[in-house]
Amino acid sequence: MIAVEQISRNYGDFLAVDKVSFEISRGEVVGLLGHNGAGKSTIMKMLTGYLEPSSGSIFIAGKPLAETMQQARKRIGYLPENCPVYPEMSVVDFLDFTATLRGVPKDRRPAAIRSAVERADLGEKATASIASLSRGFRQRVGVAQALLHDPDILILDEPTNGLDPGQIEHMRELLRNLGRESTVIVSTHILQEVEAICGRVLILRHGQLALDARLDELHGRGLLLSCDAAPSEVRERLQRLPELTGLELQQQAEGRYTYRLEPRDDASALAPVAAAEVVAAGWKLYALQPEEKSLEKVFHQITAGEVLQNAA
């Protein structure tokens, strides 16, 4: 649905986005992460056609965005970080105005507005003036305007910004449902939101794509072994195992050593073999468990420069 090929964007001498490439298919909900200034909003603006790449290409449904801008925008719903709304308008008047701009036929606008109001959970505020709404409700108006024309692609910058816990849960459910048939890209600084709704994450660092991975892959596939054996003994005994491809000392404290074991195929095949070797060697086995990595830990490693893994 979306293919990005080596896009860059300069602001004068400043390189905001540096040769970023990725593809996103229909039915994916993807989180776009990075510290402030990493290039998230710039990429979103380029994907929606509001900003032209300095170099590189963007394809929407196989067609170059630069050559099919008008048609592509009909397929894209966009919530910018600061959604422009008109305070003097009521919610339904603003949505009717936006639907007109989006080219929604007049006879379809009432149904489109009702659907957007319902999906964004705005029913009780539909006739209220936008000026009277809280920040959270204004954000939901922004989401509603992105849904009006029933787009194939949704690009949402901080969609839960200003929402209360109940509204956040509703937004999560909405995005999960939309992601079953549409392509959804969500930019947020709240990592828990990404873990709750996204199946894949793109992490930017200094304008480069530092990581492109499924969330289930980030949790690690290795084993953590804690025992009382020194590294030289463990390496001599375990590195000959055919089920093992790597071994690394991660922590040492008061005669207790923790190693990360990298399995050749599956950790479930390596675990019993490694445990048997520990017992046969007469070492004390304190723990042998699957490796777990939180998105927060991976994010901080990457943005601190500890990891830089550009996606192919």
Write the pLDDT tens digit of every residue in 179-215: 888 999 999 888 988 999 999 999 999 999 999 999 8
Instruction: Find out whether 77 and 146 touch, Cβ atoms under 8 Å.
Output: yes
What's the rounded Cα separation, in Å, for the pair 225 and 285?
Answer: 8
Instruction: Find out whether 55 and 41 touch, Cβ atoms under 8 Å.
Output: no
Ranges 39-48, 81-90, 285-294, most confident: 39-48
Instruction: Find out whether 286 and 255 touch, Cβ atoms under 8 Å.
Output: no
Is residue 166 pLDDT above 80, yes or no? yes
Asked, colleague to colleague, whether 2-218 and 223-292 share their fold, the answer is: no
* 215 CB burial (10 A radius; 0-12, 13-18, 19+): middle
Report the mean per-residue pLDDT for the chain: 91
pLDDT score for 220: 67
pLDDT tens sequence across 211-242 = 999 988 776 678 999 999 999 999 999 999 99
pLDDT score for 285: 97
- Give 171's pLDDT tier (boundaries 50, 70, 90): confident
Three-state DSSP class for residue 44: helix
Instruction: Find out whether 140 and 185 touch, Cβ atoms under 8 Å.
Output: no
The two structure tokens encoding residue 215? 């969330």
What's the rounded Cα separation, in Å, for the pair 287 and 85?
Answer: 56
Domain 223-292: state its class: alpha beta
Is residue 306 pLDDT above 70, yes or no? no
- Give 308's pLDDT tier (boundaries 50, 70, 90): very low
Residue 73 to residues 104, 151, 159, 237, Cα–Cα distance (Å): 12, 9, 19, 60
- Cα dihedral: 52, 178, 302, 162 (round 10): 90
Of 238, 234, 259, 264, the closest CA to residue 248 belongs to 259
pTM (two decimals): 0.77
Domain ranges of the chain: 2-218, 223-292
pLDDT score for 276: 97
The two structure tokens encoding residue 227? 């025992």
Mean pLDDT value across residues 86-112: 95
User: How many CA atoms within 13 Å lie on the side-chain side of 309?
Assistant: 13
- Give 167's pLDDT tier (boundaries 50, 70, 90): confident
What CATH number should be reported for the domain whose range is 2-218? Answer: 3.40.50.300
Mean pLDDT value across residues 11-37: 95
- Give 310's pLDDT tier (boundaries 50, 70, 90): very low
Which ranges of 179-230 does DSSP label H, i.e. alpha helix? 191-197, 215-218
pLDDT tens sequence across 106-135 = 999 999 999 999 999 898 999 999 999 998
